[in-house]
Amino acid sequence: MPHISGFWDRPRESVPTKGQRNPYHTGRPRAQGVPRPLPSPRKPGPLPPEVLPFAILGAGAAGLFAGCLAGETGLPALLLERKSRAGCKLLMTGNGRCNLTKEVPVSRMLADFGGTMESFLAPALNAMPPRSIMAWFERHGVPLKTMGDGRVFPASEKATDIAHALVDTLRDTDTPICLNAEVLGLRKEDGFFSIQAQTFALRAKRVLIATGGVGYPKTGSVGDGQQWAKALGHTLVPYRPGLVGFVAEHPWIHRNAGRTLPRTTVRVRIDGHAVYEGDGQLDCLLWGLGGAAAYNASRYIGRECPRTFTFEWEADGQTFRIETPKTRPLKESIATIGGIPLEEVDPETMSSRICEGLYFAGEVLDIDGPTGGYNLSAAFSTAALAVRSARKSIRLV
């Protein structure tokens, strides 16, 4: 009989069989010996009982961290995530090693973000600087290591350790997360948010949109949060790829396809003037140039949008040039430029200036940093500030 293949042939992703390790959990059991307080009966208060105090839409880096801090600070929250597993993009970061932050002073990190992001991110990064991000993960059982250039990774070099620490903390703080829960729409009615998911609807007093940018859409980030914000009165900054390779035809690239240059200087010139210079790894690929040096240069192009420019790189004692190369598509972009305009969000609270009770964190905002742990730092620190402000604004009963 011919073998007919179907979905039953595919390995089950997340249901461990007996004796197999659950990929979601570290194996660290819930802390024993510490008696868990019984939930106190709900006292009458300003929220109707069926209204959630705080809903977090999206369980990526920002949403998960927000959920953990909400749980740890006593803000009852619920996370809704469209994928069957949380933090899909987080697991891909740093080639699976997760470069979670950069151990540099806040002033240096802010200057490297540059533009309007420098002042916008100052309150968030000052409240949750790289050292505090590191301390949080170390406190939650993830030893870290700092490279010579300041980039910080889990000592195990496993992004899964970062995801486990976050998911375990949700469990330990009794913060519920609902997977396979794609949110379809968000409306504001009678002072509450109405959240419509595929198979259920909820109401919430405060909502944090943490649905990410639009790069690597298979990880679940497809720009839904931006559309909900638009329907609630926000405008949107058009998307451009933030960190992406250059498509280029050049005899030197052709000859060197497959080669990685660990440290190369690259420049962007406009009318002969060097407007951007950086160095880092350059990967020669069949379609052009990738690696951190090319990605960071593409960020300049994405932000400034020059009509024509020269991209040049140094290799083998020579300087090579290509004229106005195209960048790879948005869906391959490591960070998204565009999204919720920073002027429409209060940098001191991460709350919307347009719609009361709405908060934003992470890449859904028009924030993108260079490679090296900047984008996760921004996701973690904006999430922390949003939770702190939402908690202050809710009179919990």
* CA distance linking residue 372 with residue 279, whole number of Å: 12
Residue nearest to ligand FAD (CB): 60
Of 136 and 309, which CB lies nearer to ligand FAD in the complex structure? 136
Instruction: Check: CB of residue 163 under 8 Å from CB of residue 177.
Output: no
Helix (H) or strand (E) holding 111, with range, is helix 106-113
Residue linked to tokens 């540059």: 114
- CB neighbourhood size of 121 (10 A): 25
Q: Which of 160, 221, 296, 352 binds ligand FAD (CB under 6 A)?
A: 221
Pick the binder of ligand FAD from 69, 78, 195, 210 (CB under 6 A): 210
CA distance 303 to 1: 59
| C-beta closer to ligand FAD: residue 61 or 75 | 61
Select from 47, 93, 162, 386 the one that contacts ligand FAD (CB under 6 A): 93
Quick one: tokens of 28? Answer: 């660290």
Segment holding 379, helix H or strand E: helix 374-393
Residues 49-68 that bind ligand FAD (CB under 6 A): 57-63
Show Cβ contacts of residue 4 under 8 Å, excluding neighbours closer than 6 positions. Answer: none
The alpha carbon of 61 is separated from its chain's Cα centroid by a whole number of angstroms, namely 5
The residue (of 168 and 224) whose beta carbon lies closer to ligand FAD is: 224
Choose, by CB under 6 A, the member of 78, 80, 170, 204 that binds ligand FAD.
80
For position 374 contacting ligand FAD by CB under 6 A, the verdict is yes
For ligand FAD, the closer CB: 87 or 288: 87
DSSP-assigned letters across all residues of 249-313: --HHHHHHTT-EEEEEEEEEEETTEEEEEEEEEEEEETTEEESHHHHHHHHHHHHH--SS-EEEE
Q: Which of residues 149-188 bind ligand FAD (CB under 6 A)?
A: 182-183
> Smaller CB distance to ligand FAD: residue 83 or 164?
83
SS3 335: coil
Minimum CB–partner distance for residue 354 and ligand FAD (Å): 20
Task: Provide the 10 A C-beta neighbour count for residue 318.
Answer: 8
Out of 123, 129, 212, 288, point to the residue binding ligand FAD (CB under 6 A): 212
Distance of CA 369 to the CA centre of its chain: 11
224 contacts ligand FAD (rule: CB under 6 A): yes
What string marks each residue from 98 to 137 as x (binds ligand FAD by CB under 6 A) or -?
xx--------------------------------------
Q: Which is nearer to ligand FAD, 267 or 328 (CB)?
A: 328
Binding site for ligand FAD (CB under 6 A): 57-63, 80-83, 88-90, 92-94, 98-99, 182-183, 210-212, 215-216, 219-222, 224, 334-335, 362-364, 373-376, 379
